């Protein structure tokens, strides 16, 4: 009885998996491509970063095609990796300062 029950369970699970695969292939719409920024000649891309009060840009340098910005503040320091061609932040690392 147990073997028959497990056999039926396996067949049901396989049927569900095949049904889900067919549903995804037929009915689900493909994901839209990622939006890319397009600029007119002479237009300058803009990226606005909101900094907390008391923070300032301590250092900025290019690392290959990316801009690395170090932000110093009273509560935490941050490092931002920015893709200047797409005007977006790729990575943000925050270093919290411990109270003495």
Per domain, the residue ranges of the chain are 1-29, 56-96
Between CA 99 and CA 90 the distance in angstroms is: 29
User: pLDDT by residue for the chain (100 residues), tens digit each?
Assistant: 899 999 999 999 999 999 988 888 787 665 544 445 566 777 777 778 888 888 899 999 998 889 999 999 888 899 999 888 888 889 989 888 876 6
* pTM of the predicted model as reported, rounded to 2 decimal places: 0.53
Between CA 78 and CA 46 the distance in angstroms is: 20
CB 14 within 8 A of CB 22: no
């Amino acid at each position: 009885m147990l073997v028959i029950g497990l056999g039926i369970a396996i067949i049901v699970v396989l049927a569900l998996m095949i049904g889900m695969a067919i549903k995804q292939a037929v009915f689900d719409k493909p994901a839209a491509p990622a939006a890319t920024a397009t600029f007119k000649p002479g237009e300058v891309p803009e990226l606005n970063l909101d900094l907390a009060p008391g923070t300032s840009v301590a250092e900025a340098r290019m690392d290959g095609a990316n801009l690395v910005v170090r932000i110093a503040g009273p509560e935490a320091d941050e490092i931002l990796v920015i893709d200047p061609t797409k005007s977006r932040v790729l990575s943000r690392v925050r270093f919290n300062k411990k109270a003495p």
